[in-house]
A and B are shown apart, each in its own frame.
Chain A
Amino acid sequence: MSSSILKATNVSKIYELEGVEVKALININLDIKQGEFVAIVGPSGSGKSTLMHLIGALDTPTTGKIIIDGENISKANEKELAKIRNQKVGFVFQQFNLLSKTPAWQNVEIPLIYSGMTSRTKRENLCKQMLEKVGLADKLYNHPNQLSGGQQQRVAIARALINNPAIILADEPTGALDSKTGKEILQMFKDLNKKEGRTIIMVTHDLDLAEQAQRQIKIKDGEVVDHF
């Protein structure tokens, strides 16, 4: 059995909203292994977004422990969380979230800048290689608004991969794409998982999409359930 890359133990997240306690996650236990392709699935309001934020080190749990590739995020401060997001997690968003006035390769470059890689040539070369890998060798200097939705999502995937993170965390990655392009992007994730052994966690409300993953973690009302 391969080693655990994400381990959540008794994780709860409780918000206070206008004086009322909202239990977004209750006692979650997860164990995701190196090289798995997991779908976290649940209807809106189930708590899956909250769980994604915790896995992505964008937030810390109220109680319980989350360990990402050996790093405990439960007790991390802002600076340490930033480092974990930079090194351990590669985000892919539904709306791509590219900087619209910045060329493709410089969008991919951002995580390298924050990781402190000082050589500009080195960064530029890495970004070019990565964009070639996602099939955008001829779009290096294009701005996102000159690219199709599928191409933009590929730039985002290249950006997610650039720091060689432990986890690719994709939030509804096909949600803004037509079904054909959506399938291509999904195939890309499958390839990354199979050929490179990358750990992929996909968050979605789409049950058919979730079926494509090796394993599904179903969330309902803040708890992991066997079936809806």
Chain B
Amino acid sequence: MIVFLEIFETAFISLLRNKLRSILTMLGIIIGVASVILLISIGSGLQSYVTNQFENLGSNLIYVMPGDMESGYTLQSLKKRDVTLIKRIGFPVKDVSPSISAVTTVKYKGIEKKYEVSAFDEAGIKMMNFKPAEGRLLNNEDVSKNARVALIGPKVEEALFGKLSAVGKSIMIQSSEYKVVGVFESKGGGSGGIGRSVDEQVMIPITTAQKQFNQDTYNAISVQITSKDEIENAKKKIEKAMLKIHKKDEFSIMGMEDLLKTINSILSVITAGLGGIAAISLLVGGIGIMNIMYVTVTERTKEIGLRKALGARPSDILIQFLIESVVVSVIGGSIGIIFAMLGSMIISQFFTSEVTLSSILLAFGFSSFIGVIFGVFPAYKAAKLDPITALRYE
């Protein structure tokens, strides 16, 4: 019969007696747990950011792209007749809009920047749920008149015009002058390394763009579907229609969902990788515990001998030392979680970060597990000590 409470007390007292040592040992676990949680939270923050961005763009969209996406074989195959063809499918296709995009220079007065210039018709702008923050969006009149007008993102306005309003002013795209008719509402999302934000785009009418970039083909055709559930059905119908005038490798059809899935699976691997690297530091922390527990067992050899002489069974000694290492790792793990949460709050000011319950449980479970695994060897050594030799130890 083991009196657990007393053994816990003994473990705590012994940890308190060597405060500095206990804190330093805990530090290894604290850093390990905090970094596992933080890195995983950055990874999952990134994932939810990407998902969010996609949903902002409308998730019931399908893109028809020129060439074969899988082999990377591209060609200029999408033309006006394709748009007409897809429009003719009817249900579940709700709307069809071609687009062109190119990264090119945009100038206002002395400031010159490179932006993604995308071209749509009115339907395309509507599909992506753009709303005007200032002025107006692009409309069918602009398209039919080949008007040199531009709708710009809030970040473009900020970069080129500072605090002034861009509406009514003229900007230069390549060497042509365009009048800014509107600024769309922010779609959110950060800048800083990860991809280009939608807010950093310049939009012009599709017909104007064809002239500007001197091409009669499109970079993509966006197809809006009546509902998310019809996406697979729509894909099949579009493919069937396209195959009438194209070979199989002249076009690809991609749903937002597919794209999102691919990106998310890449991000999951990255998250797991980051967590794995952080777990190494947790492992090192565990080795720190083992090391210090061996020292403790050696230092207290005589005490162990005495306890055995007074009737402690090997299991009593084992538990006493095991509890010591588990207490170190559990307290260290808890402090690590607190640090990770604080760290995540700071990081989320600049970058996306999301502390997930699963990452906390994972790190906490792992640190307790490490406490047991790395504590068990020194504790076993203590339990197996011969009482006669241990009593003689000086």
Contacts and interface: CB of A to CB of B under 8 A. Distances in A.
Interface of A: 53, 56, 58-59, 78-79, 82-83, 85-87, 91, 93, 97, 99, 101, 110-111, 113-118, 120, 159, 163
Given A53-B388, A113-B3, A79 B314 contact: yes
B17 interface: yes
Nearest to B394: A95
Interface in B1-50: 1-3, 5-6, 17
Contacts of B1: 116, 118
Contacts of B316: 82, 114
A91 B310 contact: yes
B316 to A, nearest CB: 6
A118 B309 contact: no
A-B pairs, 6 with minimum CB distance = A86-B311, A116-B1, A114-B311, A82-B313, A111-B310, A97-B306
A78 B313 contact: yes
Contact of A58 (B5, B303, B387): B387
User: Which of B5, B312, B314 gathers most chain A CB within 10 Å?
Assistant: B312
A119 to B, nearest CB: 10
A85 B311 contact: yes
A217 to B, nearest CB: 20
Contacts of A83: 311, 313
A39 to B, nearest CB: 21
A130 to B, nearest CB: 14
B238 to A, nearest CB: 76
A82 B308 contact: yes
Contact of A111 (B6, B17, B311, B387): B311
A85 B2 contact: no
Contacts of A56: 309
A220 to B, nearest CB: 22
B3 A117 contact: yes
Contacts of B2: 116
Contacts of A116: 1-3
A51 to B, nearest CB: 12
User: Which of A87, A93, A114 gathers most chain B CB within 10 Å?
Assistant: A114
B232 to A, nearest CB: 66
B309 A58 contact: yes
B391 interface: yes
User: Which of A87, A99, A113, A115 gathers most chain B CB within 10 Å?
Assistant: A113
B387 A115 contact: no
A83 B315 CA distance: 12
A59 B302 contact: no
Nearest to B4: A118
Given A99-B306, A114-B316, A117-B3, A87 B311 contact: yes
A117 B2 CA distance: 9
Contacts of A118: 1, 3
A90 to B, nearest CB: 9
Nearest to B313: A82
B187 interface: no
Interface in B348-394: 387-388, 391
A187 B388 CA distance: 28
Nearest to B300: A99
B307 A110 contact: yes
Contact of B313 (A58, A79, A101): A79
Contact of B312 (A53, A82, A99, A163): A82
Nearest to A169: B309
A82 B306 contact: no
A58 B307 CA distance: 12
User: Which of B2, B3, B5, B309 gathers most chain A CB within 10 Å?
Assistant: B309
A83 B388 CA distance: 16
Given A58-B387, A58-B388, A116-B1, A97 B302 contact: yes
Nearest to A85: B311
Given A86-B310, A114-B316, 5 more contacts: A85-B310, A93-B391, A114-B307, A114-B311, A118-B1
Contacts of B3: 113, 116-118
A159 B311 CA distance: 12
A87 B310 CA distance: 9
A155 to B, nearest CB: 13
B12 to A, nearest CB: 13
Contacts of B388: 53, 58-59
A53 B308 CA distance: 13
A91 B309 contact: yes
Contact of A82 (B5, B17, B302, B311): B311
B391 A97 contact: yes
A117 B17 CA distance: 26
Nearest to B5: A120
B173 to A, nearest CB: 80
Nearest to B306: A97
Contacts of B307: 110, 114
Contacts of A78: 313-314
